[in-house]
Structure formats: C-alpha cells, structure tokens
C-alpha cells in the first residue's frame, strides 16, 4: 500500500464534536480533504455554516447536529442522530471542550460539573454509543482531544486539568476494552493553540510571554497542526498506536 493510501481516510465516516471551533473546523477540513464524510456536532446548526462549506468544498458530505454536550440526554440524542445519518461511525473525534480558568478557591460546583460533563462525560457517552458499530465491523478510531494541562500542573486550571486528566485515563481504559475489536483509542494533548480565542487570550505579551519563555520551540501551536495529528491517528498509518496520550506542545513538558 502506498504511503498516501495509508494516510487516507477515504470513504470513512467521522463524527467531530466542537466542529465549528478553531480546532474543530480544521479537523473537519483536514479529514474531509483526506476523504472522510463528516457529521459535525456543535451547540447549534447555524454556527456550522462555514465548516459545512469547507467540507463540501473538498467534495465530501457534511451533516450538522446541534447538541448541548453538557446535557446527557441531548448528547444521547445527538449520538442517535449521527447513527441514523451514517449507520456506523468509523472515526470519533471528541474535540469539544470548555475551560474556565479560576483558582481552586473560586471554582463553583456548577462550573466544575459543567466542565466534567462536556470534557469527560460527553466523550464517554459518544464512545459508548459508537463503539458497538465499530466492533461489529472490526475497525474504528477514537481520538480524544486532551491538553498538556492534563499532564502538567498549571495554576488556575483545576477543573480543566482534572477533566482532561480523566479523559486521558478514559482513553487508556477504552483502549484496553476495545483493542480486541481492532479499535484504536488515543488522545492528543496540545499546548496553547492560536485559534481566534487563543489569540485573544494569549496574544497579549503579558499573558503569553511567560509560557513562551518556558517553551523550547518558542511558539504556540496552530489549529492545523492538531488537525494533522488527528488525521494520522484516524488513518491506518497509526494502527499500532493505541492507548497513547501524545503531547503536541513544542517541548514544553520535556524540560
């Protein structure tokens, strides 16, 4: 098999949460360019207009599903919508996430619960919904978008880091149960990614410079760099990689 075929996802059906966001839209576009049809899951259908055009511009189909991932019942409904549309999902990318940066003493129970629901419970629910179809066809890919903050401690990230640390362990446990069905489950753990929101927060030198000073490569990431890693983990080129939490952080956590 030629290398380009190993990295292809032609004919695959991918469900991507947070599809309209800065990273999610890039993931949808890269997967579509590599041949996948996409179901985008986001808070409402209207915010997915641009990503729908991007996917269709690559000649692939796009189906938008509105969902509040903090609501367990709505998440279950969205999963059923995906399965009704696709029949079976070949690739699940749990990309949606929320981060409320507050010190330990200021985090409300409501913020904690919402963070856990979106960042941890929703990936569990969607994997639970889609894994049986993957197992039946003896192939599947689940990619969880975690964070470098799941592995290293960063002040003010208590609820976020706890949710992403849980997502890493969920990744490993799912791998241990699903590997026998030829399903690969991995997580990617990015540093700060300069989405429009990331630019707004971290583009301020007073905020960003201390992080950059600790980053060997001296820069933050671009959304397409995360999307490219997701593509690799969604393709047959990564079939031997399973249960890993792969840092994409410009060397930040290595020193």
Packed helices 72-86 and 122-137: angle between N→C axes, nearest 10 degrees: 30
Under 8 Å between Cβ of 77 and 67: yes
CA-to-CA dists, residue 91 to 85, 133, 240, angstroms: 14, 11, 16
> DSSP assignment, residue 236?
G
Under 8 Å between Cβ of 20 and 98: no
Region class of 243: left (phi > 0), else alpha (psi between -120 and 50), else beta: left
| 200 catalytically annotated | no
| 209 catalytically annotated | no
Region class of 45: left (phi > 0), else alpha (psi between -120 and 50), else beta: alpha
Per the residue annotation, which of 160, 172, 200, 222 is the catalytic one?
160
Q: Tell me the C-alpha distance between 239 and 13, whole Å.
A: 17
Per the residue annotation, which of 164, 172, 200, 222 is the catalytic one?
164
Tokens matching residue 8? 């292809």
DSSP, residue by residue, 16-59: EETTTSHHHHHHHHHHHHTT-EEEEEES-SGGGHHHHHHHHHTT
Catalytic residue IDs: 160, 164
């Amino acid at each position: 098999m030629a290398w380009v075929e190993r990295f292809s996802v032609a004919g695959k059906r991918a469900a991507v949460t947070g599809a309209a966001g800065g990273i999610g839209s890039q993931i949808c576009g890269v997967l579509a360019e590599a041949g996948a049809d996409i179901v985008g899951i986001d808070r409402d259908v209207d915010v997915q207009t641009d990503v729908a055009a991007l996917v269709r511009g690559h000649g692939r189909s796009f189906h938008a599903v509105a969902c509040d991932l903090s609501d367990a019942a709505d998440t279950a409904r969205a999963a059923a919508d995906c399965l009704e549309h696709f029949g079976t999902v070949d690739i699940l990318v749990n990309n949606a996430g929320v981060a409320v940066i507050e010190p330990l003493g200021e985090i409300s129970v409501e913020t904690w619960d919402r963070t856990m629901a979106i960042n941890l419970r929703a990936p569990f629910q969607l994997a639970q919904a889609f894994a049986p179809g993957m197992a039946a066809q003896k192939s599947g890919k689940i990619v969880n978008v975690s964070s470098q903050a799941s592995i290293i401690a960063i002040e003010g990230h208590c609820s976020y880091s706890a949710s992403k640390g849980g997502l890493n362990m969920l990744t490993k446990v799912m791998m241990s149960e699903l590997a026998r069905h030829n399903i690969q489950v991995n997580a990617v753990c990015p540093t700060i990614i300069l989405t429009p929101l990331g630019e707004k927060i971290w583009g301020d030198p007073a905020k960003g410079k201390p992080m950059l000073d600790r980053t060997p490569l001296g820069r933050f990431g671009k959304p397409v760099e995360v999307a490219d890693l997701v593509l690799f983990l969604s393709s047959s080129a990564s079939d031997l990689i399973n249960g890993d939490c792969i840092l994409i952080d410009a060397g930040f956590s290595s020193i």
